[in-house]
Chain A
């Protein structure tokens, strides 16, 4: 039986949560599972093309930086390159920030998407919010 698709709603810009989303998305996508990530609220700032300080977090974030844990954006990229991973930028978040898609990290997002469509697609999958 095929695994349920995994839908990740990423709202937090906290480094630890962005990284956990990246780990779940990349591992899920390379494990013959379809994964979709919807990036909204503060999380959108972690995906800015020109973010001066991309990852802000707590003690564990400091440790990850110190130990040079793989960059979260790099993990999302690996998930896309090696598996079935789609990334969506919340259209509301883009409206509120006034950003075009060009402001986001290049070649990562599959486009903007509304929450209604994402929730509708997620009805038959496993849903995780971070």
Chain B
């Protein structure tokens, strides 16, 4: 069964949240999801762009009180 891991990258500046996501993806199985919490505005566009470029799957992006939650599914 697919699992979801949470990475709290709040307080990290660009490209920190993306780099933490990539390091995290190396540790999980295909089909698993990672939720990145980021206070960096750029993450909301940068991470989806990276996901599209390298062919993973974007599950969703939400924002609450200045914190973005970006959920990515490992596709390969």
Contact = CB atoms under 8 A, between A and B. Distances in A.
A27 interface: yes
Interface in B4-21: 12-16, 18-19
Contacts of B14: 23
Interface residues of A, number: 13
A27 B23 contact: no
Nearest to B54: A32
Majority secondary structure, B binding face = helix
Interface of B: 12-16, 18-19, 22-23, 26, 50, 53-54
Q: Which of A30, A32, A67 has the largest count of B CB atoms less than 10 A from its CB?
A: A30
A80 to B, nearest CB: 12
12 contacts: A23-B15, A27-B15, A27-B18, A30-B50, A31-B54, A32-B53, A67-B13, A70-B12, A70-B13, A75-B15, A78-B19, A82-B19
